[in-house]
Chain A
């Protein structure tokens, strides 16, 4: 069985806020849900499946009750920032199996307003918590080893931020709209070696939502048709400390599965949404997904190759997490939303990719240098 073509993304919504001290987290979930349902041209009563992750206050049953939903299928898969990419794949599975027909997925929260609650401890806690792994230094360790093994440079990483900033200047909602240079990035303060401040994504309040449905229902609605044709998910960790290699991610497994199911290759992709928690995240994912060979990511991202209208692989044309939005410190949802905009032809005209009929949305969740998940979605305009 395959989920190829079994599910369509019929509604999308990204909250315009980047700072929401005047709203509750549940309220933000409701606002993005309302936005996505209206975008699809549906009503709340049509929803028969609801998916959410660790950002949803209280989890499934409080949120289903709060939103006033009546559903017959739910999923609370929690894999950090890529949860929503996995939700999309699982929604397609559930729809293909007839468990539900219209799924709502929501993400929202307020890390810019206040600190997020800590994660529950895993079995490794006594052996790791004291060492202070954060997002910055966990990704810093990946970048440090990638530089050591492959000669990747800070200038090459900086090109990723430069490309994102070129796109963000056209997004009125982007948190950072100023175009930056390679020099700006490498001259920004060192946060955790070798990552500078501008190698890091923004911290924003906000959220996003999508509606996933059957081919028949999608075709009865008014939006351009966008469907999922391939999906993969995978996890990676130190696994007892054997053969540790921080220069690749679980994307080396999720990517090929998604491409195989879709029956396409990286060369066919017109637009790429790649999770950009840090510049190194993008570089490693591009290698792991097969857009270039392992170790050649630095060369691949240089000289504007990721800038729409300039390079060969336009990426994160909304400005991505590096410049626009990283709601709840979780970038998976916004990766899907911009890919759908591109496939619909609804991206900003300055960054819209011509004849964009095939896109990838890919992300990781957790800490790339410690233990993480990855998920890949291949999306097609019908």
Chain B
């Protein structure tokens, strides 16, 4: 079942190391470009919208809504719900919805970030708010 699922440790690299360091402290970071003002996820050093290198780390509220999801009924580690959630700050991202009744999920539901441990930095997931 999902509770016993072992998640892979992030490999990390110089471009994303700060994200994973913050995750260890329970903070969920996104990147924002100070040139065009757009936030994005996953984090890049160069803005994927205006291609400026003026991107800065920003702590996200971790509040989001479910854009879409799909409940995978069978897997070697049990059922799991993959989803895209849209952060309050704007960007949408791929994740799993965890630690709640996966059979009654709905598009538009409010969710919040939770971290789950790996052998390295913890990974962000979302659960019903």
Contacts and interface: CB of A to CB of B under 8 A. Distances in A.
Contacts of B69: 141, 144, 193
Contacts of B40: 240-242
A58 B80 CA distance: 35
A363 B84 CA distance: 24
A242 B84 contact: no
Given A137-B70, A241-B90, A127 B42 contact: yes
Given A130-B8, A240-B38, A241-B41, A141 B73 contact: no
Contacts of A125: 11
Contact of B8 (A129, A136, A141): A129
A240 B44 contact: yes
A136 B44 contact: no
A193 B103 CA distance: 10
Question: Which of B67, B70, B96 has the largest number of chain A CB atoms within 10 A?
Answer: B70
Contacts of B12: 126
Contacts of B67: 145, 244, 246
A189 B74 CA distance: 11
Given A131-B95, A133-B94, A241-B92, A145 B73 contact: no
Interface of A: 121, 123-134, 136-138, 140-145, 148, 189-195, 238-242, 244, 246, 369-370
A336 to B, nearest CB: 30
B72 A241 contact: no
Interface string B53-91: 000000000000001111111110000101110110011
Contact of A246 (B7, B10, B84, B123): B84
Given A145-B67, A192-B71, A131 B91 contact: no
A126 B13 CA distance: 10
A134 B7 CA distance: 16
Contact of A238 (B70, B94, B96): B94
B100 interface: no
B72 A126 contact: no
Contacts of B42: 123-124, 126-128
Contacts of B8: 129-130
Contacts, number: 115
B72 A132 contact: yes
B19 to A, nearest CB: 8
Contacts of A123: 42, 44
Interface string B1-42: 000000110111000100010000000000000000010111
28 contacts: A121-B11, A123-B44, A127-B93, A131-B95, A132-B72, A133-B94, A134-B72, A136-B70, A137-B82, A138-B70, A140-B70, A140-B72, A141-B82, A145-B68, A189-B73, A190-B73, A192-B71, A192-B72, A193-B70, A239-B48, A240-B40, A240-B44, A240-B91, A241-B87, A242-B40, A242-B91, A244-B84, A369-B68
Interface residues of B, number: 39
A123 B41 CA distance: 12
B87 to A, nearest CB: 8
A93 B16 CA distance: 40
B73 A192 contact: yes
Most A C-beta atoms less than 10 A away, residue of B7, B94, B95? B94
A132 B96 contact: yes
B35 to A, nearest CB: 14
A23 to B, nearest CB: 29
Nearest to A246: B68
A74 B93 CA distance: 37
B71 A148 contact: no
B48 A244 contact: no
A141 B72 contact: no
A295 to B, nearest CB: 16
Please indicate which of the listed interface residues B11, B67, B68 has the most CB atoms of chain A within 10 Å of its own CB.
B68
A123 B118 CA distance: 19
- Find the residue from A131, A134, A143, A369 having the highest chain B CB count within 10 A: A131
Nearest to A131: B96
Q: Which of A121, A138, A240, A370 has the most CB of B within 10 A?
A: A240
B7 A244 contact: no
Interface in B85-123: 86-87, 90-96, 107, 118, 123
Contacts of B38: 240, 242
A109 B91 CA distance: 38
Q: Which of B12, B40, B67, B118 has the most CB of A within 10 A?
A: B67
B94 A126 contact: no
